[in-house]
Structure 1
Amino acid sequence: MKQSVEEFSKITAILRGYDYAQVETAVAVLCGSVISAVEITLNHPDAKDIIRRIVDKFGDRIAVGAGTVLSAEDLQDVVEAGVDFVLAPSLFSRDMLDYCRHHQVISVPGALSPSEVHQCVKDGADIIKIFPAGTVGSKYFQDIQAPFGPLPLMAVGGIHAGNIAEYLHVGASYVGIASGLFRKEDIAGGNIAGMQRSLEEFAMQMEGVDG
């Protein structure tokens, strides 16, 4: 599901540390929901194989991304697996950003300080992930854009249904949500009904939130 930044989901579900069966079940629940992008982080030993299999099975229904992409080697592997976007908690090198651009993969490097944000802008990042967003708070998204002008910022870390609107209203263009979406025990146990209930409650809380 290759797409432009303009088409990219305002809300990304983050799945961290789960095996294939757990990820497959969670993504199946997400397909067709208010969330149209899922990030699978690389801190599981089989993460790259999981990503490849999820892309093959669900890639035409939901945007699939890789998270915690910390090296050029990891980037090449996940791009070859067919991801639509890549994220990190830290900066990408300019070569990594160029690689993303060449392969039409949306780049979302992590930044926190004004200097890091500015570096991402100069190097051509598609979206800038502010992490951990919960540490700096929503007002930071407004403050950081005062000198730089409008920026494509994603809030990640400490995000849940109760504060998404707050971040979007003060300057975040995107949010990533992990533990604030599904209960960890529901994903671990493959509790489809529990995940569906969580997603329904989330969708209800998101009514009236743009995007």
Structure 2
Amino acid sequence: MAQDLCALLREKKLISIVRGAPTEKITKIADAIYRGGFRFMEITFDQSGKTPHAVTAEQIRIVRDAFDGRLHVGAGTVMTEAQLKLAAEAGAEYIISPNVDTAIIRATKAAGLISIPGAFTPSEIAGAYQAGADFVKLFPVDCVDLKYIKAVRAPINHIPLLAVSGVTPENLGDYLKAGMAGAGIGSILVKGEDVAADNFEAIAQRAARYVAVVESI
């Protein structure tokens, strides 16, 4: 099952990152993302305490139940095994972190879920993959240029990397052509002002622009 989902992510390439959204709007956000062509949606844990972790878990559960496998939901910014447990119990299919924590990676794999930790250097990337990560997100990717990406990938091009932070429809193609396996897109796609104004059509239209780039390559 996990390997099938990995294959689908390699095909679809895009993960929508949703953070701080009101629970009463999470299904409409998910619907907009889905209508735009995305098939993966990450709902992030808030480490500041502003949004209780139980609320994040409930949002994961709501979307998972509403879409019944049509939209694959994962948990983001997972930094403790307690958060991993909450996410798994809520039905998350993959676990994304901003860092490399081998304990989280191994616990994720033990739970039968896809592991996507964040890394920045070749040593971090290789260490995450050796610990069992399925993908590694290069984060923050907008702090480096394409030369860095190509240089990093040269000796470790067997490791699938996802570009995360600052990915736009305009630069997505460059990242994919540089060898990235996919990308995660956050507030550039799901803008807070659109959520506040219930302008979900704008989110769907932006999502479609990203999908069009993937389909053109």
Gap change, CA 1:121 and 1:204, over 3 Å in 2 = closer
Q: Give unpaired runs (5+ residues) of structure 1.
A: none
Question: Which has the higher mean CA deviation after the structures are superposed, 191-200 or 31-40?
Answer: 191-200
Distance in 2 (CA, whole Å) between partners of 1:7 and 1:205 is: 17
- Could you tell me which residue of structure 1 aligns to residue 204 of structure 2? 196
- Could you tell me which residue of structure 1 aligns to residue 72 of structure 2? 63
Correspondent of 2:118 among 98, 110, 124: 110
SS at match of 1:83: coil
TM-score (norm 2): 0.87
Q: CA deviation at 1:104?
A: 2.3
2:125 equivalent to 1:124: no
Distance in 1 (CA, whole Å) between partners of 2:35 and 2:199 is: 18
SS at match of 1:12: strand
- Could you tell me which residue of structure 1 aligns to residue 15 of structure 2? 12
Q: How does 1:40-189 map to 2 (within 5 A)?
A: 40-43=43-46, 44-45=51-52, 46-93=55-102, 95-189=103-197
SS at match of 2:163: strand
SS at match of 1:179: coil
Distance in 1 (CA, whole Å) between partners of 2:214 and 2:23 is: 28
Is the CA contact 2:73–2:92 (under 8 Å) kept in the aligned structure 1? yes
Is the CA contact 2:194–2:200 (under 8 Å) kept in the aligned structure 1? yes
- Could you tell me which residue of structure 2 aligns to residue 24 of structure 1? 27
Distance in 1 (CA, whole Å) between partners of 2:173 and 2:67 is: 28
Gap change, CA 1:172 and 1:31, over 3 Å in 2 = same
Q: CA deviation at 1:169?
A: 0.5
Q: Give unpaired runs (5+ residues) of structure 2.
A: none
Spell out, residue by residue over 1:24-68, the C-alpha distance to the aligned partner (whole angstroms, 9 max, x if none): 211011225421100111113221211122212124210101100
Distance in 2 (CA, whole Å) between partners of 1:126 and 1:42 is: 20
Distance in 2 (CA, whole Å) between partners of 1:74 and 1:208 is: 37
Which amino acid in structure 2 is aligned with residue 68 of structure 1?
Answer: T
Give the CA RMSD over aligned residues: 1.9
How many residue pairs get aligned? The number is 208
Question: Which has the higher mean CA deviation after the structures are superposed, 154-163 or 189-198?
Answer: 189-198
State the percentage of identical aligned residues.
30
Which amino acid in structure 1 is aligned with residue 124 of structure 2?
Answer: E
SS at match of 2:154: helix
Gap change, CA 1:174 and 1:196, over 3 Å in 2 = closer
Distance in 1 (CA, whole Å) between partners of 2:114 and 2:147 is: 26
Distance in 2 (CA, whole Å) between partners of 1:96 and 1:203 is: 31
